[in-house]
Amino acid sequence: MSILKKIMVTGVSVVLCAALFVSCSMVSVNTDKDRAQVVANVNGTDVTKAQVMDLVDMQLSMIYGMTKEQFISQYGEEQWKKFKESTLDMVIRTELTIQQAQKDGFYDDSDENKAKVKADIEQKIEERRQQVQEQADKDDTVTDKEAYVNEQMEQYLKGYGYDDIDQAVIDTIKTDAVNAENDKIKAEVSYTEDEAKAYYDEQLTEQQAKIDEDASNYASYSSGISVYRPQGSRFIKNLLIGLPEDAQSQISNLRKSGDDEGADKLLNEELAKIKSQADGALARAKAGEDFDALIEELGTDSGMKQEPAKTQGYVVYEGSNYVEAFEKAAMALPAAGAISELVPTDYGYHILQYVGDAGGAVPFDEIKDTIMEKKLTEVQNKHQEDKFLEWEEASDIKKYTDRLSTFEG
């Protein structure tokens, strides 16, 4: 795996991702020469077209999930040109980060460290080989165990860039240096609790005014930092005995095409198949079994297994844009702790629990950690961008973007 892919996998910001240093097999002499073209120079260090186009290919696969042709078809030739140029800027910034990491003493290419990194990689390879061998030994359908292991290992080595150990060692050292520099940049800034409280007070004034005026405005805050919820809203937990995904898709497609009659017919057929399971879940809930445990055991609503909904439930209010039958049943529950009957929708059978009232201001202590985490990330990203601009201003950078037009990866 190249330095870029390693950093992407470990979750480091894409802006700091290192460029692809692993060489790829060449299909012709012309392609080889073209990929070797210099498309930028950063303080005397060349950036090749191969580095940029390999990173383009990686982003197309890992981030967009499409081919170059699909990207151009969806976004157009001009966006494709901008995409390649922005990727070049990303590689340049990565090179700047590596150079700064060297200045800060984070780049350890000593023989001792190289030996340690190489040993670590070889251990990972051996552990992977053992895993593959165990898989092959347990799988009776694999007749040629040795060939299977060799094929799987070849894919693994190529995918992680371990087919060239010496290059993998260099890539790992660069990855470690970039990560260390990134950590240093993050540590240079902070976000205090006092700043969080000031932000909270400001947002509370703004959100309360807008949401009290129109509860539907809550949706514009709920995906970010929400400090105020509509008056009359409720926390509702959802135990969903869901329909199979393919059935849900078919029903959805029928409704989109305007065939509600066909959708209703298919829905009733599918609901009948899960009715006994839903009845059993409802009986257990009504008998007093722990509702959260039932959701964990039986529920198919993935949203109920993620915070904050896992702990507090969904925020439901009149006009909250939940499915009509869901919202109506949720708002009809008489008191906290009440459990609904089966509520059929295109997703399956819902069993709802009224957890408690949700309306009004979210207490600062409840939202403080979220505010500090998100705002600290914003501050760190801004500081990181400022650092890049500072490095770029102090650097000798030459770009030859026209050379990205000839070879398309």
The CATH number covering residue 247 comes to 3.10.50.40
Which residues face 357 on adjacent strands?
Answer: 234
Within a domain: 94:
yes
Domain presence at residue 302:
yes
Residue 38, domain extent = 30-104
In a domain, 137, yes or no: no
Asked which of 74, 89, 104 is the last residue of a domain, the reply is: 104
Please check whether residue 181 is in contact with residue 97, taking contact to mean a CB–CB distance below 8 angstroms: yes
pLDDT at 247: 96
Residue ranges in the chain modelled with pLDDT below 70: 1-29, 407-409
Question: Per the structure, how many domains does the chain have?
Answer: 2
CA angle 269, 271, 272 (to 5 degrees): 65
Task: Output the pLDDT for position 160.
Answer: 86
The pLDDT score that the predictor gives to residue 216 is 92
Which pLDDT does position 233 carry in this prediction? 97
What pLDDT is recorded for position 378?
96
96 part of a folded domain: yes
CA atoms within 13 A on the CB side of 211: 25
Count other Cβ atoms within 10 Å, centred on residue 127.
10
Q: Last residue of a domain, which of 358, 381, 397?
A: 358
* Residue 179 within any structural domain of the chain: no
Rounded Cα gap, residues 58 and 62, in angstroms: 6
Q: Is residue 251 part of a domain?
A: yes
Q: What is the DSSP letter of 347?
A: T
Asked whether residue 180 is domain-assigned, the answer is no
Crossing angle (nearest 10°) for helices 111-138 and 165-187? 110
Q: Which of 61, 89, 104 delimits the end of a domain?
A: 104
Whether 218 is covered by a domain: the verdict is no
Whole-number pLDDT of residue 15: 41
